[in-house]
């Protein structure tokens, strides 16, 4: 009898661990939010640091410029505000954000 360990066949492996590609797009991470990032576009220098650091790819870029934040996916973590070199992203509690402020930032319906 061989003392070699029998390797597990792929069909015997348990499912799980790695989700199929694109599955995160179905997860509405915006529902976790307690803070909203509001961008002062007069101060934004479109350096893309927020886009690079956002863990949910929620920063919307058009023609090389930041145009807003996709609130369906923004979970309000504040990393973008921390990384912005000119401090033009201000985190505000959800309950203090007016509909007008929210709509000016939100790109989820575009
Ligand atoms: S990090 Fe700040 S300055 Fe740079 S693109 Fe984002 S909001 Fe604009
Ligand atoms: S707060 Fe900023 S870094 Fe965090 S998920 Fe929202 S856009 Fe991305």
pLDDT along the chain (110 residues), means of 10: 60 66 80 96 98 95 97 97 98 98 95
User: Helix %, strand %, coil % for the chain, to 5?
Assistant: 30, 20, 55
Structural domain contains residue 8: no
- The residue contributing the CA closest to ligand 2 atom 4 is 77
The whole domain housing 56 covers: 29-105
Structural domain contains residue 15: no
Structural domain contains residue 75: yes
Burial of 80 (0-12, 13-18, 19+ CB in 10 A): buried
CA of 6 to the centre of ligand 1 (A): 54
Structural domain contains residue 97: yes
Model confidence, pTM: 0.82
Structural domain contains residue 13: no
Lining residues, ligand 1, CB within 6 Å: 39, 44-50, 66, 84, 86, 88-89
Structural domain contains residue 14: no
- Which CATH number do you get for residue 95? 3.30.70.20
| Number of domains forming the structure of the chain | 1
Contact 60, 66 (CB under 8 A): yes
Lining residues, ligand 2, CB within 6 Å: 37, 54, 56, 58-59, 69, 74-80
């Amino acid at each position: 009898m061989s003392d070699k360990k029998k390797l597990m066949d792929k069909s015997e492996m348990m499912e799980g661990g790695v989700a199929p590609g694109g599955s995160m797009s179905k997860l509405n991470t915006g529902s976790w939010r307690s803070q909203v990032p509001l961008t002062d576009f007069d101060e934004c220098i479109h350096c893309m640091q927020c886009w690079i650091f956002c863990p949910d790819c929620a920063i919307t870029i058009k023609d090389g410029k930041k145009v807003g934040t996709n609130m369906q996916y923004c979970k309000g973590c504040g990393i973008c505000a921390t990384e912005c070199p000119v401090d033009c992203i201000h985190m505000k509690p959800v309950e203090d954000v007016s509909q007008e402020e929210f709509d000016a930032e939100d790109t989820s319906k575009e």
